[in-house]
Amino acid sequence: MNTVKQNATGMKGPGIFLAQFIADEAPFDTLGNIAEWAASQGYKAIQLPTLGTRFIDLQRAADSQDYCDELIAVCARAGVVISELSTHLQGQLVAVHPAFDSLFDDFAPPALRGKPGERTEWAIEQLKLAARASQRLGLTAHATFSGALLWPYVYPWPQRPAGLVEQGFAELGKRWLPILDCFEEAGVDLCYEIHPGEDLHDGASFEQFLDAVNHHPRAAILYDPSHLLLQQMDYLGFIDRYHARIRMFHVKDAEFRPDARSGVYGGYQGWVDRPGRFRSLGDGQIDFKSIFSKLCQYDFNGWAVLEWECCLKDAAQGAAEGAAFIQQHMIRKTAKAFDDFAGVSADAASNRRLLGLADD
């Protein structure tokens, strides 16, 4: 069993996102079982998906501190903590273009399928419940998707009508502002995973969203470099530019192998054959040494959480290798400069002499 001891400052980890591991068979069937499994693999935290009630009942968690204390105790007995909750699928339903209605209906309760307006209201309420549940669990960040009204128009052909993008982001901001206010009341950052298929899919679109929500202090980023690499973005420069808004971190690898047949858009091919594909940690092209260094430089103090998605490697092998990979990349930030041993005493008068300035 892991003993979970984390410093109040600095990056924490390794954690693991459980969405890809849920199953009806043990040890992936209950919170207690999967928490024990995660601890046995070397993880110190678990990130919980919240669609359904297998691991957590959002309504109960939002309303009952006793229930949340029970969840915390179950994890503690296994040797892990809850790093964050996730409403990726509910967040997707906050904004759905009609072209995707039938595909995304499966994310909603059966009674709401075919009723996009009611489905949106349900999704918004789910996010508000997640804010209160996160607060009761003592969490400081939450993972979600933004949803998308504009994704069918991501490539400007036919030419987009003037004002379409601006109206899309205005509506997106209108839907998310009350949710962000709930997260403000709860003291929890709402972290949007920057992800293709979402209106928030790169830095430029995130900036447009910030404008639409009046630069809300709780509008934050879940940094996942794999989605940036597949778009051929500068995923290291992204940290330099947006580090103040990066409050969550998915450690996920990817590779981009363009050829004469297809590139970024993938030619409608399956994951194995696409030029851009997700890989297990260490098997792709992501420069994690530089990522961990930059996040350390900017004092990121959230969790480093494995999100396992690989088109080749088995999930069990990916999870078993992931904890050690993350641990090897964790940096304990130095408390002093390496050349402090050669430091000299100084004051204003001596500094003036060193500069060759005459005394007044």
Q: Residues with Cβ < 8 Å from 346, sequence gap 6 or more?
A: none
Provide the 10 A C-beta neighbour count for residue 272: 8
**DSSP states of 182-234:** HHHHHT-EEEEE--TTSS--SHHHHHHHHHHTTT-TTEEEEE-HHHHHHTT--
Integer Cα distance of 202 and 195 in angstroms: 7
Model confidence at 140, pLDDT cuts 50, 70, 90, reads very high
Integer Cα distance of 92 and 72 in angstroms: 27
pLDDT single digits (tens) 3-33 = 443 434 699 999 999 999 999 999 999 999 9
Does residue 272 surpass a pLDDT of 60?
yes
pTM of the predicted model as reported, rounded to 2 decimal places:
0.94
Residue-range domains of the chain with CATH: 12-354 (3.20.20.150)
Looking at residue 5, its pLDDT comes to: 39
Short-list 104, 87, 83, CA closest to 190: 87
Q: How many CA within 13 A on the CB side of residue 28?
A: 13
Does residue 276 surpass a pLDDT of 70?
yes
Alpha-carbon 48 to chain mean position: 12
Does residue 57 surpass a pLDDT of 60?
yes
As a whole number, the mean pLDDT across the chain is 95
pLDDT single digits (tens) 187-198 = 999 999 999 999
Looking at residue 199, its pLDDT comes to: 98
Does residue 279 surpass a pLDDT of 70?
yes
Short-list 304, 349, 353, CA closest to 330: 304
Contact in structure between 225 and 231 (CB atoms under 8 Å): no
Of the chain, the percentage scoring pLDDT greater than 90 comes to: 90
Residue with tokens 């892991």: 2
